[in-house]
Amino acid sequence: MQYPEWIIDEVRQNKISLRGACATGTAGDLHTKAMHTVCDEAKCPNKGKCFSEGEATFMILGDICTRKCAFCAVTKNRPPLPPDPDEPRHAAELCRKWNLKYVVYTSPTRDDLPDGGAWQFAETTRLIKQYCPGIKTEPLIPDFAGKETALKIVLAASPDVLGHNIEMPAALYGEARIGAQYERSLKVLRTAKELRPDILTKSAIMLGLGEKEDDLRQTLKDLIANKCDLLVLGQYLAPSNQHHVVKKYYTPEEFTEWKKTALSFGFKAVMSQPLARSSFMAGSLYNEAAATENKN
């Protein structure tokens, strides 16, 4: 299936942005600190735009995932090394150097760790806040195999937003999200809100994996029922021919309609566009939700 023009144009512009001095500097800083990013590991199409603006989504806990999701470009295996204890400090130092006002950091799933990497997430939040007073923090976490104790560790560091992606409707989990459980992901969001109602919850869905319209609507309803505040809808792009195939490319107009639908279900803020990703323009989405809450 050929890429539509609206995808090609956006990706082309992002690649051009990578050639700029700021983008090169961002890449250099990350290399110096030996920091991974989801921009690189997941082959994010927005890398050029974000790097050119001195931003990146950190990937802590290494770059190897213990699960085998069919849509993801991250390397899959048993991680040979424990988490790097310097990662949280390095992330904080880069946030300060880049003068970030909002930062997202995620990780591969680390089922090999007793806490799933929760302590590393919490320490990253704490140090970023220490190094950069006033910054907004958004850990985008795995499901920690459903361990509430791990979730409590992350929430105790008081991030501003707690992200966990549902990724797709339940019907697609068996073929595209092996090792994960739809209901468990919903429970992560629900439990986070129950434990810390002051922290916004956020999730994301990829479109084009073969979802049916009714199933997508049900997923939106399920997210709302499980206390999800913020939503991102973006087009799935297969990282390679060995990954789950793209079944449909949604038009920009369809993304606009799905945004309207999601807002009508009760989300506080929604980003819905072809190249939208969990961390893309995350600060803007947070501010939109905050403005909505202030009006109410």
Rounded average pLDDT per 10-residue block, the chain, 296 residues = 68 53 64 67 48 65 90 85 93 90 93 97 98 95 97 98 97 92 98 98 96 98 98 91 90 96 97 88 91 71
DSSP 242: T
Paired tokens of 64: 């190897």
Whole domain around residue 71: which residue ranges? 5-295
Looking at residue 3, what is its pLDDT? 72
In 83-199, which ranges are E strands? 102-106, 136-140, 161-163
| pLDDT value at residue 41 | 43
Distance spanning both ends of the chain, measured CA to CA? 45
Of 190, 201, 188, 204, whose CA–CA distance to 258 is shortest?
A: 204
pLDDT the model gives residue 178: 87
- Give the SS3 label for residue 266: coil
The phi, psi pair for 7, rounded to 5°, reads -75, -45
Burial of 286 (0-12, 13-18, 19+ CB in 10 A): buried
Give which of 292, 248, 294, 240 is closest to 269, Cα–Cα: 292
The CA distances from residue 176 to 12, 46, 51, 71, 196, in Å, are 28, 23, 29, 6, 31
Q: Which helix (H) or strand (E) holds 197?
A: none
- Rounded to 5, what percent of the chain is helix, strand, coil? 45, 15, 40
Give bridge partners of residue 105 from the DSSP assignment: 58, 139
Number of compact structural domains in the chain = 1
- pTM of the predicted protein model: 0.88
Nearest Cα neighbor of 126 from 87, 176, 183 is 87
Residue 261: its pLDDT value, please? Answer: 98
Cα-based distances in Å from 247 to 105, 121, 287: 29, 34, 33
Which CATH number covers residue 59? 3.20.20.70
